Structure 1
Amino acid sequence: MSTGQPREDAKIAFDRERRRRALSRLASRMRFEADDVSHMLPFEEVVGALGATSRISIGEQVVPLDKIVGTVDRRRGDFDRSFRPSPNTRGRWERIAEARKRGEAMPPIDVFQIGDLYFVQDGHHRVSVARAMGDKDINANVIQVRTKLGAGPELQIRDLPLKAHERVFNERVPLPASARERIQLSDEWRYAQLATLVESWGYRAGLQRERVLPRPEMALLWFREEYEPMVDMLREAGLGGGGTETERYLRVAMLRFLLLQRHDLSDDLAERLAGEVKHPSQAAEQDTMTHQIIKEMRD
């Protein structure tokens, strides 16, 4: 609804967006969501986690406003992830909103693009006003940043440590894309554990072949000769506990090493591991890491 007075309309619009921001925060708190769920993504931290490989300017583009979720250098508290404003942005926000109400054209904003996500370098207030006025897109000068890992719309600040460890795992264990998609862990430190196990497996495989295996070859051999057979065995035997197939594999691979000190896939492996889960040995009960793995496999 418009009063016909651009300055008054701008004030009303700002107050409306402030209320929406407050209500959104209240709703998130009532859903017991993490505090960072509504925060803008910080560009440098995202790039650091995902691993930039190149940057290229692709010129002026029409960018969907709902894909703009981050910032390059602005304080995160000035706007939330939906670019609803905080009180300290009122003056400039209302001036831009008033100019829009008067029909003045806005210059394109400047953004960085990572996958389908955009991060504002210049133009935060213009994005906020455009969204408040119901626009669906905005003109932007775009610099495209390619990264080792992709970024989806569900990405949150709390996901960045996990993404960073996933990226390092992929560097240490460079699997083809189709195989890499199956490696899913919810704990960042377990990516490091898994990478170490894979490298150990690759070292032994190289000794058997009497040559040093390049990392891509080592990774693919591990996936085909160790990971896939083990995952199939665990599925058939109903072992490994909950979570993803990678989490089940990692538990058993660690338990196999800690309890059995062996790395091959023998016929009695599943039976022996199942016995440890049902009736832990004295060593299993005394060893903290072994006890934790067995507990996870029972859950």
Structure 2
Amino acid sequence: MVSDSGSPRVDAESDFLRARRAQVLASLAARLRNDRDDVVRSLSFDEVVEALGRRGEHYVGTKVIPLDAIVGSVDKERDFDRRFRPTSTRSRERWERLALASRRGEVIPPIEVYQVGDYYFVRDGHHRVSVARSMGESVIEARVTAVDTLLTPTGVDVRSDLELKHWRRLMLERVPFTGEARAAIAFDHPEQYGEIAETVEAWGARTMHAERAYMDKETMAARWYAEEFEPVARLIEDAGVRGPKERLAAAYLRVACERYRLIREHDWNAEVMGQVRVRSRPPRR
């Protein structure tokens, strides 16, 4: 609750103490719940953009943005938590000065942010965001620069999500899937992206050797999906060797590894799949 003692200066001091107390309690609660540190820490703009792959940027202009959509910082992710509560008293004087100005109704200049999809990262104005949230505001005026990325900027809620995005981006650089294939080849574990890239490249090498013709990466990706993945995916579904919550790409990777481990075979047919089915069980979850 925002206090109002009649003295803006006293109330600004109370605002800061309230914000610090909330941050300390939230951090303690997260530790008691054994939550990961990345759940409460502000996201780093540089880490997010590196994971997604930066293509370019363009200035959008000044607009009003929701405070809840501001999830991180360009360079002060350790000074404020995920909800932009101060993590120390280092900048207390500056924070209280802005809170006092806000309580007095003074004009507060727009903050500057990078926009990555539906997420915003503060370039300038961290204290203004912190004060606005502490005062119960829901929106803030911002000068927005949009950043275009290689991967769709969704599903980046905590730092641990970035590793998955990072390895997916590397996989797409090696095997540039597009359209339906790009959507279908998705995993829940980072290491699987490296495994599928190696699998596709090995298939491409065998195919080029057999055909005595070169394939570029784009052709390799498209042909592997059409000639290898889709037929095998149908065999997997028909044979019932896919786990109930298993992604189809993960099922392919698991079954392909089991096929070679068990029978040292690169071909696919009903007999091969029958042997894999008998000798390998899908994950239960």
Q: Normalization by structure 1: what TM-score?
A: 0.86
Q: Which moved more, 1:248-257 or 1:201-210?
A: 201-210
Corresponding position of 1:67:
69
Compute the displacement of 1:259 (Å).
Answer: 3.0
Contact preservation (8 Å) 2:24, 2:87: no
The secondary structure found in structure 2 opposite 1:87 is: coil
Preserved CA contact (<8 Å) 1:67 1:153: no
Secondary structure of the structure 1 residue equivalent to 2:82: coil
Sequence identity (%): 42
Match of 1:170 in 2: 172
Please, which moves more after superposition, 118-127 or 205-214? 205-214
Q: Which amino acid aligns with 2:226?
A: R
Q: Which runs of 5+ in 1 are unaligned?
A: 279-295
Shift, 1:276, TM fit: 2.5
Q: How far does the alpha carbon of each residue in 1:210-251 deviate from its partner, in whole angstroms, 9 at most, with x for none?
A: 432232222122222222222232223222546322221111
Aligned mate of 1:266, from 248, 266, 269:
269
Cα distance in 1 between the residues matched to 2:239 and 2:62: 56
Secondary structure, counterpart of 2:184 in structure 1: coil
Summarize the Cα distance change of 1:136–1:178 in structure 2 as closer, same or farther, 3 Å threshold.
farther
- CA 38–44 in structure 1, closer or farther in 2 if over 3 Å, else same: same
Partner of 1:283: none
1:255 and 2:250 aligned: no
Residue from 184, 188, 193 that aligns with 2:190: 188
- Provide the TM-score with structure 2 as the length reference: 0.90
CA–CA distance in 1 between the matches of 2:107 and 2:162?
37
- Of 14, 17, 20, which aligns to 1:18? 20
Matches within 5 A, 1:51-90: 51-74=53-76, 76-88=77-89, 89-90=91-92
Quote the Cα distance in structure 1 between the aligned partners of 2:8 and 2:138: 21
Q: What is the deviation of 1:49?
A: 1.2
- The letter for the 1-side match of 2:87 is S
Unaligned runs of 5+ in 2: none
Deviation at 1:107, TM superposition (A): 0.8
Residue 149 of structure 1 aligns to a residue whose secondary structure is coil
Q: 1:205 aligns with which of 199, 204, 207?
A: 207
Alignment root-mean-square deviation, CA: 2.1
Report if aligned partners of 1:172, 1:215 keep a CA contact under 8 Å in 2: yes
SS at match of 1:77: coil
Do the aligned partners of 1:117 and 1:153 also contact (CA within 8 Å) in 2? no
2:246/2:283 contact within 8 Å kept: no
Do the aligned partners of 1:116 and 1:153 also contact (CA within 8 Å) in 2? no
> Alpha carbons of 1:64 and 1:49: their partners in 2 closer, same or farther (altered >3 Å)?
same
Indicate the residue corresponding to 1:282 in structure 2: none
Residues 155 and 161 in structure 2, CA contact (< 8 A), matched pair in contact too: no
Greater helix share, structure number: 1
The 8 Å contact of residues 61 and 141 in structure 1, kept in 2 or not, is answered as yes
Provide the secondary structure at the position in 2 that maps to 1:59. Answer: strand
Equivalent-residue separation in structure 1 for 2:139 and 2:15 (angstroms): 19
In 2: Cα distance, 1:62 partner to 1:272 partner: 60
Matched AA of 1:262: E
Residue type at the aligned position of 2:63: Q
Give the aligned length.
281
